[in-house]
A and B are shown apart, each in its own frame.
Chain A
């Protein structure tokens, strides 16, 4: 099925550990995004990639890095996990450029940092 695929679905990390969240889309979308979802906070943008080869910070980028590996893949890395990064992480994609029909979201990664 076409869409956005995120791995892993669940992860428990110890404080200070590192990990990479993977995201891939097969809709030939130009733009990709990483959000985190916390209770009562809605979804907040961490990083985005408007097109292949570009990345930019969003609202809450501290503690994260990203890589737009190619047009399909956009990964999010936590170099030294902290309990404050316990959250549900969503990757999304959109057509980009002059077309915008909203985002297609992945099913999320539930991350717990202990």
Chain B
């Protein structure tokens, strides 16, 4: 079963533009929502994460927007740069217990110079 759905599968953005990736989850027990960034040949690396007690979290050019009622969250990359070209995964889990992350399908982001 796919508990976290991610869109789009691929995205092309011009340098300096805003990249937006969306995710929707089903399990209302989830209370931890991270985004991972993966470069070719590497393992995913934690980019930014949010808990459901806030609606937005910003770290530099990266922002997570969270809508608890709609069970959706999104990643915004401001002033996108060619170095941001990577695959991005959203994920969700419960903090307590086994901490099993459920991942979205991934978005391949390309930033054109």
Contacts and interface: CB of A to CB of B under 8 A. Distances in A.
Contacts of A103: 44, 46, 101
Interface residues of B, number: 27
Contacts, number: 66
Interface residues of A, number: 28
Contact of A40 (B42, B100, B105): B105
Interface string B1-42: 000101001000000000000000000000010101000011
Given A40-B9, A43-B44, A105-B45, A100 B106 contact: no
Interface in A7-54: 31, 33, 35, 40-45, 48, 50
The secondary structure that dominates the A interface is strand
Given A31-B98, A102-B49, A107 B104 contact: no
B69 interface: no
Interface of B: 4, 6, 9, 32, 34, 36, 41-46, 49, 89, 93, 95-106
